[in-house]
Amino acid sequence: NAGVTQTPKFRILKIGQSMTLQCTQDMNHNYMYWYRQDPGMGLKLIYYSVGAGITDKGEVPNGYNVSRSTTEDFPLRLELAAPSQTSVYFCASSYSPGSNTGELFFGEGSRLTVL
């Protein structure tokens, strides 16, 4: 069982470039999330989705965009990369919070550097 798979694991971008972080899960979870983790800090929510076709902004959405065309996939798009977007990005998925397995399942993270 693969769980949550993120690609790429590492990427270096130049200022102004764009890229997409891919995320896919095979657990049939309705809820999916994108977080960023800055050095020495906790996770900040960028965008989230409660099902295919439904997305919404989190705490720090500026400079990002998402789509959710299927239950499995939740890509994160970075437009016009800026040094402030240098971070580690985590995709996560889950069942509803009240279920027995209501915890978040995380991908391995993607380290992005913008120079």
Partner 1 sequence: AQTVTQSQPEMSVQEAETVTLSCTYDTSESDYYLFWYKQPPSRQMILVIRQEAYKQQNATENRFSVNFQKAAKSFSLKISDSQLGDAAMYFCAYRRGTNAGKSTFGDGTTLTVKP
Binding site residues, partner 1, CB under 8 A: 31, 33, 35, 40-45, 48, 50, 56, 58, 88, 90, 92, 94, 96-98, 102-104, 106, 108-109
Q: How far is the CB of 58 from partner 1 (least distance, A)?
A: 7
User: In the complex with partner 1, which residue's Cβ is closer, 79 or 95?
Assistant: 95
| Closer Cβ to partner 1, 74 or 90, answer by number | 90
- Residue 64 or 90: which CB sits closer to partner 1? 90
Virtual torsion, Cα 38, 39, 42, 47, nearest 10 deg: 10
How far apart are CB 103 and partner 1 at their closest, in Å?
5
Alpha-carbon distance values, 113 to 67, 84, 88, 89 (Å)? 23, 9, 9, 11
Please classify residue 79 by burial: count the beta carbons closer than 10 Å to its beta carbon, then call 0-12 exposed, 13-18 middle and 19+ buried. Answer: middle
Taking the complex as a whole, how short is the minimal distance between the CB of residue 107 and partner 1, in angstroms?
Answer: 9
Residue with tokens 């993120």: 6
